[in-house]
A and B are shown apart, each in its own frame.
Chain A
């Protein structure tokens, strides 16, 4: 968050009395923030705590935030009742493939739209933008029918392929390549590189910030996605984490330590990725909150 202006209060043009009121106001602000912050953290803490609780302790009154005798039982049992390792691998394979393929195809198409002049370029771009307006629920029923006709239900390719073309990604890369300084390409062209080599040697590296931002957003969207996998991944061997979690809850309604252990497993990786790459995400959301 660079460039945030200094709060007015820090400037020296204020009398001491006003400064005191300002200080009081700021402290009140921090108190409110603290309370709201706790409201954000508490559900996570509570789930974590429940996931380390033994089944016999779940329903005790008063409930404890810090388990008296913490145990990994719930995690062990999750791995027994659903193919957890398989489900995690599915989630990783699907999310990574979708992310990488989305970045590559979007970067290529964005470059094509930005750096070539051809008939119909404007129409093509508008077509991409137009698809952004249609909610994904419209395509889901026909896609589901298509996949079931192909016999691709319960397959990972059915989870990956429809998610690769990203109009939003193309839009981002196009905007970025439009600003690329001509000299970069010209230097490559003098060295005799054609468009293809220039793209990989010069343009794609230049667009790394967009790739990072869009990549994180794409990864999170894919990792968390539920609706499409709900249609496609019906048998446990092809499930991703959110669907596996929903089915775990469906079967073990009252074993909340199991369900919370599953939730922790689903949530922790994205929170870590997010904490590590916070900056890119904020920037990305600003670029395109539309496409969450």
Chain B
């Protein structure tokens, strides 16, 4: 039933609260960010129109370029690993058992915890002198590095901690995908004498490609926005070796008072996300199997 007659006007009342807030706090700010990116403004003096000057400067900004590169390095390290770990967990837990239920809770604990708290926990454990990780490595005769303060290891740590936190999230998405696969498909493979390895590659994975696609889109969008773990674990260091795009936005707006410049950066971030998602959607026809 749809409301008709005199009742039909009521739609305004139903939509007003949400829509007014959406305009004020989302739509206007999105537009404002566009305008703002054409200005130089420190909030203290009057804004100065610079045209595309901010974008021209961004193209030359060594720090920003390094932030873009490190964001991509993060994604290249994080995305494949978290997907493999999450999928493995899902495959292992895709069974009926009390223990499987409990395990799901366990793997989900990091997902629901605040990034700040999680990052601090790891910062303590990765402490090079008194941290428990290096102590344990010492037990087997390995001298652990200064995880968060050495080039290379710092990024490895950020990626590792991120995988630890998000594996359970990826697992849940894949579990849903697995449960949508009809049991007879895998049974047929089994009757034909396929071993689990063959069954996975020839039957399960092809049927799972829609989920793989969905998960990769979600993770890619999220990982372009990587921020909290970097901010707490390394602060972008050492020597800017883990600085990322959102962190640069925050630093410019928050610490340097460069509002227009930060807004320009946020548009670049949006452009990146938009483009990559578009490419992914285009490419999906080549490898994602729907139906069947």
Contact = CB atoms under 8 A, between A and B. Distances in A.
Given A37-B103, A63-B130, A109-B18, A245 B2 contact: no
Interface in B1-52: 1-3, 7-8, 10-11, 13-15, 17-19, 21-22, 25-30, 32-33, 36, 43
B7 to A, nearest CB: 5
Interface stretch (B71-79, B90-98, B148-156): B90-98
A40 B168 contact: yes
Interface string A245-278: 1100100000010011011001100110111001
Nearest to A36: B89
15 contacts: A5-B183, A44-B109, A108-B18, A131-B30, A134-B270, A135-B266, A139-B26, A145-B259, A227-B250, A245-B120, A246-B231, A256-B130, A259-B124, A262-B117, A290-B218
A137 B106 CA distance: 31
A134 to B, nearest CB: 6
Give the 5 A-B residue pairs with the shortest CB-CB distance, closest first.
A112-B14, A5-B183, A109-B18, A116-B11, A165-B21
Which of B11, B27, B173, B263 neighbours the largest number of chain A CB atoms within 10 Å of its CB? Answer: B11
B18 A241 contact: no
A87 to B, nearest CB: 13
Nearest to B261: A141
A268 to B, nearest CB: 9
B246 interface: yes
Contacts of A41: 106, 109
Interface of B: 1-3, 7-8, 10-11, 13-15, 17-19, 21-22, 25-30, 32-33, 36, 43, 88-89, 92-96, 99-101, 103-110, 112-118, 120-125, 127, 130, 132, 135, 164, 168-169, 172-173, 175-176, 179, 182-183, 186-187, 190-191, 196, 214-215, 218, 221-222, 224-225, 227-228, 231-232, 246, 249-250, 253-254, 259, 262-263, 266-267, 269-270, 273-274, 277
Given A40-B110, A162-B26, 18 more contacts: A1-B100, A7-B96, A43-B122, A43-B125, A44-B109, A58-B130, A63-B132, A113-B15, A116-B3, A138-B30, A138-B33, A144-B253, A164-B25, A182-B1, A224-B115, A227-B228, A273-B112, A278-B104
A39 B133 CA distance: 12
Interface of A: 1, 3-8, 11, 13, 25, 29-30, 32-33, 36-37, 39-41, 43-44, 46-47, 50, 58-59, 61-63, 104-106, 108-109, 111-113, 115-118, 121, 124, 127-128, 131, 133-146, 148, 161-167, 170, 182, 185-186, 189, 194-196, 199, 220, 223-224, 226-227, 230-231, 241-243, 245-246, 249, 256, 259-260, 262-263, 266-267, 270-271, 273-275, 278, 281-282, 285-286, 289-290, 292
Contacts of A185: 1
B258 to A, nearest CB: 10
Contact of B8 (A118, A241, A242, A246): A118
A133 B132 CA distance: 41
Contacts of B196: 25
Contacts of A273: 112
B117 A141 contact: no
Contacts of B183: 5-6, 8
A129 B253 CA distance: 28
A226 B20 CA distance: 25
A1 B265 CA distance: 42
A1 B121 contact: no
A194 B10 CA distance: 9
B269 A137 contact: yes
A140 to B, nearest CB: 7
Contact of A260 (B88, B121, B270): B121
Contact of A289 (B88, B110, B173): B173
A268 B94 CA distance: 28
B245 to A, nearest CB: 8
B17 A1 contact: no
Contacts of A37: 103, 106-107
A128 B30 CA distance: 13
Given A8-B186, A260-B120, A116 B14 contact: yes
Contacts of A3: 179
A139 B25 contact: yes
Contacts of B2: 115-117
Nearest to B249: A137
Contact of B172 (A117, A165, A285): A285
Given A271-B112, A271-B113, A146 B29 contact: yes
Contacts of A135: 221, 224-225, 266, 269-270, 273
A118 B11 contact: yes
Given A43-B121, A260-B120, A285-B169, A116 B1 contact: no
Contacts of A286: 172-173, 176
A113 B1 CA distance: 13
A276 to B, nearest CB: 11
